[in-house]
Chain A
């Protein structure tokens, strides 16, 4: 019982990140792909805000590098963006956690927007150019999906009694 209590969150954490990576690379037609939510970024925000005592900057950095490797991007782009986001989350999680879900969505909009700008800045160094709508649409969709993500993760945690 004790072991499963400690393992539960870890399994949920790893499987959520794997699912996030899978959704990040799932082949979609270009028109639809523009609306793909930045699930990895949202998951990092969620986990850092939910267990700031265990997960922090190094966690965000590693997940970011993993995403860069899997997406064939420039290594370090997502690592940089997610580290800075995790820093903001660690500094303000007490405040953000007390907000209502839709209020949190506005925060997510700002944070994911920052993430997009940092990633596109690093990609620009490598010569890749992004259109403005490629940055803004995923940000809007991510903010709109935030309540859904919170709800689903909450349900999974209740169902499998993961505190």
Chain B
């Protein structure tokens, strides 16, 4: 029994090592997403039943009111899009003048959160779209207000998404105001990202919007990531300490978008 416990413990530690540092388990990871999907699907049932009941019992007057509000909002957005069309055309013309590649318009699918990792320090969620919908590993997930995370495991009908606030996650960003490139790192807090290696002379201040820079070849360019909330220049240290707050509602959004910035066929090769 003592040798068996030693062998199994070593097997567990090898599993830990292999999971963290190698890609031996890649084929199992997708299968494990499918394995856990039914549990999350069932655990999501009460929330969905509540939503369904809410929809069914909404009074007519409230629906009319909501409809009116949505129409107004749509009108406002449509006006903005009218301007967008001419601006986008102008942008493309200018880019052609500069001989740079055209920005492709992103295609998205709407997904719904069906579960979150139970451990509060692990920031992963499971969404109800998988390989049958064309979802691929590395795909970016955004909500209505900003970037949320990237797909790390794809099952048949569900996939696992690592949020940008997870301690194992970092992404390249740039300041929208002046284009300074930085790295935003998760620190295990849903409301905070740490910006690493900001030199003490960098032009960064509170209220700056950080957008994805696309330099890591992983996230599409230009999605809002976070807003700088705290900058502390300490002459005694090599780098300034900067804290930013994610733009996305990391723990509220239920409806999210998965962005296809490359056709799935290119990825699978």
Residues B8 and A126 in contact, CB atoms below 8 Å apart: no
Cβ-neighbour of B1 out of A57, A61, A129 (below 8 A)? A57
**Taking the complex as formed, is A136 at the interface, i.e. its CB lies under 8 A from any CB of chain B?**
no
**Taking the complex as formed, is B129 at the interface, i.e. its CB lies under 8 A from any CB of chain A?**
no
Known: A71-B117, A72-B117, A87-B1. 9 other contacts (CB 8 A): A24-B118, A57-B1, A61-B12, A73-B119, A75-B25, A76-B16, A80-B16, A126-B168, A129-B167
Residues A122 and B16 in contact, CB atoms below 8 Å apart: yes
Complex alpha-carbon distance, A122 and B184, angstroms: 25
Residues B16 and A74 in contact, CB atoms below 8 Å apart: yes
Residues A128 and B118 in contact, CB atoms below 8 Å apart: no
Cβ-neighbour of B115 out of A18, A25, A123 (below 8 A)? A25
25 contacts between A and B (CB under 8 A): A22-B43, A25-B43, A27-B118, A28-B118, A33-B118, A36-B118, A71-B117, A72-B122, A75-B18, A75-B25, A76-B12, A76-B13, A76-B16, A77-B16, A79-B15, A80-B16, A83-B12, A84-B9, A87-B5, A123-B121, A126-B16, A127-B168, A128-B168, A129-B188, A134-B121
Greatest chain A CB density within 10 A among B116, B118, B168 is at: B118
Contacting residues, chain A, for B44 (C-beta < 8 A): 27
Contacting residues, chain B, for A73 (C-beta < 8 A): 117, 119, 122
**Taking the complex as formed, is A21 at the interface, i.e. its CB lies under 8 A from any CB of chain B?**
yes
Interface size on A, residues (CB 8 A): 43
Cβ-neighbour of B19 out of A76, A128, A130 (below 8 A)? A76
Complex alpha-carbon distance, A25 and B42, angstroms: 10
Complex alpha-carbon distance, A61 and B9, angstroms: 9
Residues B9 and A80 in contact, CB atoms below 8 Å apart: yes
A residues at B contact (CB < 8 Å): 18, 21-22, 24-28, 30, 33-34, 36, 56-58, 61, 64-65, 69-77, 79-80, 83-84, 87, 90-91, 122-123, 125-130, 134
Contacting residues, chain B, for A79 (C-beta < 8 A): 8, 11-12, 15
Residues B39 and A25 in contact, CB atoms below 8 Å apart: yes
B residues at A contact (CB < 8 Å): 1, 4-5, 8-9, 11-16, 18-20, 25, 32, 35-36, 39-40, 42-44, 47, 115-122, 124, 126, 160, 167-168, 188
Contacting residues, chain A, for B5 (C-beta < 8 A): 57, 83-84, 87
Complex alpha-carbon distance, A36 and B120, angstroms: 12
Q: Which 5 A-B pairs have the closest CB atoms?
A: A76-B15, A80-B12, A76-B16, A69-B32, A75-B19
Residues B13 and A80 in contact, CB atoms below 8 Å apart: yes
Residues B119 and A71 in contact, CB atoms below 8 Å apart: yes
A111 to chain B minimum Cβ distance, whole angstroms, is 15
Complex alpha-carbon distance, A80 and B9, angstroms: 5
Nearest B-chain residue to A61, judged by Cβ: B8
Contacting residues, chain A, for B35 (C-beta < 8 A): 69-70
Complex alpha-carbon distance, A77 and B121, angstroms: 14
Greatest chain B CB density within 10 A among A56, A73, A75, A77 is at: A75
Known A-B contacts A25-B118, A33-B120, A61-B11; the reply to A72 vs B160 at CB < 8 A is: yes
Nearest B-chain residue to A127, judged by Cβ: B167
A22 to chain B minimum Cβ distance, whole angstroms, is 6
Complex alpha-carbon distance, A33 and B29, angstroms: 26
Residues B19 and A25 in contact, CB atoms below 8 Å apart: no
Greatest chain A CB density within 10 A among B20, B119, B168 is at: B119
Complex alpha-carbon distance, A125 and B13, angstroms: 11
Complex alpha-carbon distance, A84 and B47, angstroms: 37
Contacting residues, chain B, for A61 (C-beta < 8 A): 8, 11-12
Complex alpha-carbon distance, A160 and B160, angstroms: 39
Nearest B-chain residue to A119, judged by Cβ: B119
Complex alpha-carbon distance, A80 and B17, angstroms: 12
Complex alpha-carbon distance, A90 and B8, angstroms: 15
Residues A64 and B12 in contact, CB atoms below 8 Å apart: yes
Complex alpha-carbon distance, A130 and B12, angstroms: 21
